Amino acid sequence: MPATEQLYIRPIGFAASPQSEEGEAIRLAGGLVYATRFALIRREGSRVVARERVAVPDMAAALARLPDSLAAEGERQWAALGMAHPPLVCGARTIRLDQPQVMGILNLTPDSFSDGGAFLDNADVANAHAAAMLEAGAAIIDVGGESTRPGAPAVWEGDELKRVIPMIERLAAAGAAISSDTRRVAVMDAALKAGAHIINDVSALRHDPRAMEFAAASGAPVILMHAPGEGDDLHDGGPYADVVLDVFDWLKARRDAAVAAGIARERIILDPGIGFGKSLADNLALLNALPLYHALGQPLLLGASRKRFIGALAKEAPAHRRLGGSVAVALHGMNAGVQLLRVHDVAETVQARDIWRGLRDGALTDFSDLAD
């Protein structure tokens, strides 16, 4: 039986403003990135069978030429690329998604790859760190009680609950927007009751068989991350036929499964899972293809802070010395239109974001190079 042909619309050309292209650019995902040219890619099985470069004025004609089996998908992806996403409502806080927002990482674990043990056994230190991230401009604090680094042992849910619930309660009392980084329904439930607003599941609601039903019933926004493995080892998987397109298809399938289970489209955020079961080359390919994932029609989260690939590109720098690389990757994500940046170094990333935002705003109002 022949493989089903798949379609992908990947932005490949960008402009600082729509004015610089005389209006022939789309505002990518309702943000501050403007795309002018696209690759229209068709894949059959694992093989790319056609690739066409298309500018904005020519897209309607290019979509009309697609075979009937791909026409509807082409229209959906093209609409999704220009879709503005509604804000996330987190209790009294509203997180706008028309610009990059910073999510601060708070690992209450003994063995996370970067800051394991730093905040687990000292509530005062953890509280001060959370307060500093909020003061520095973190829109969301992501609280986790289990390391998902390669080879990390599974954590009993009772221990995970004891680690995270007191902190979530303190953050909720301070009025913070909170995401719960967990794979277990018992922890999701307790976290939401303690004041968390978002479920961030690195297994994309696959680890706990009750997770999809619970997330749908909860009404909370969910973050679905790509990881090739199942069970306790999310890093076990591959090789990929084409990591960029394979991850796209996987995220699309998980989004559709979530919608079928009753989770509203506007409550789904997607994460390509940098570092999870991926080589250095895989990670770089995904990062360079980030704009493609807007064609899925969901807000995107990028979690690359201090990860191993940064050390591999920076003279084997240890995790605590990967600040420059982490900020560089965050800026790369901003240029790709990513809405949420999950980071350890909040103050530095927020400062970089603010400068990036100033440059973007300036590009919208500076027409001196266009004068006759």
Residues that are catalytic:
307, 342
Q: How far apart are CA 353 and CA 102, in angstroms?
A: 9
Evaluate whether 290 touches 333 at the Cβ level (below 8 Å): yes
Dist CA 209 CA 213 (whole Å):
8
First-last CA distance in the chain? 60
Helix ranges (H only) for 116-218 are: 123-136, 157-173, 185-194, 211-218
Residue 243 to residue 247: CA distance in whole angstroms = 6
Q: In sequence order, which residues have a C-beta less than 8 Å from that of residue 243 and are 6 or more positions away?
A: 278, 282, 285, 286
Sign of the CA dihedral with 116 first, then 233, 268, and 97 last:
positive
* Alpha-carbon distance values, 283 to 14, 109, 206, 360 (Å): 22, 25, 22, 26
